[in-house]
Structure 1
């Protein structure tokens, strides 16, 4: 996936849930500060900051968003490309959330510790942009 020319502001303005829209603005500010990157749309629903290149042992390779989120109907999804497993201690202190393999689902940023979220996103972004993260042994698509 690659960044598109779509407007991040227009996308966020179109978010109908007031809490998701508020949280999207907060995350744009937070992730811009953490990454030093400007937000860009990745596909129709992901707001991303920076990228990293991955290459599987199979030869498959591509680029992916290094930090990003999507204000979904049920919750805002924060993408952690290095997986949530590395953040067990921080997640215990975060507040109300659920997780997937590489996703953190947040229903309301006002109910979590934003400092902990900032630490998680910072660590994840640094890992995936360090230059070695994208070298993976197995291709999950094969």
Structure 2
């Protein structure tokens, strides 16, 4: 799952003019302070450490609370922002101890609600729209659960010596 973290892109706002920057085979020139670009997470980290840019789309505590409310209201999982789990892990790693604890608590509630919807759905064949609301990580879990449930049914229902 951490592999998905490497694929996440983040929007950054440049805090200073940058004449030239190259990363991952891309080369950008003439970037003005205030410009917003989408870059791989590792590039966002490098730019942040160099104080050239700041991330503008991290998942914060307020957004998590809003998601929790929406998740509680619906029978289906709500659509999460792209790269949700890697962005939350990133926010957790950067937060101070007290803030990190609050983020972790709300995230746990969101995940538990989503799992309480995902697990029963693995027993049935939900609407494709329902599956579209899952994150890539959740989709992997969902497909794995479905496969294991099928295997279990096969092993339980297998009758030997019939005939």
- Please report the TM-score for the alignment, with normalisation by the length of structure 2: 0.26
Which is richer in strand? 1
Which is richer in helix? 2
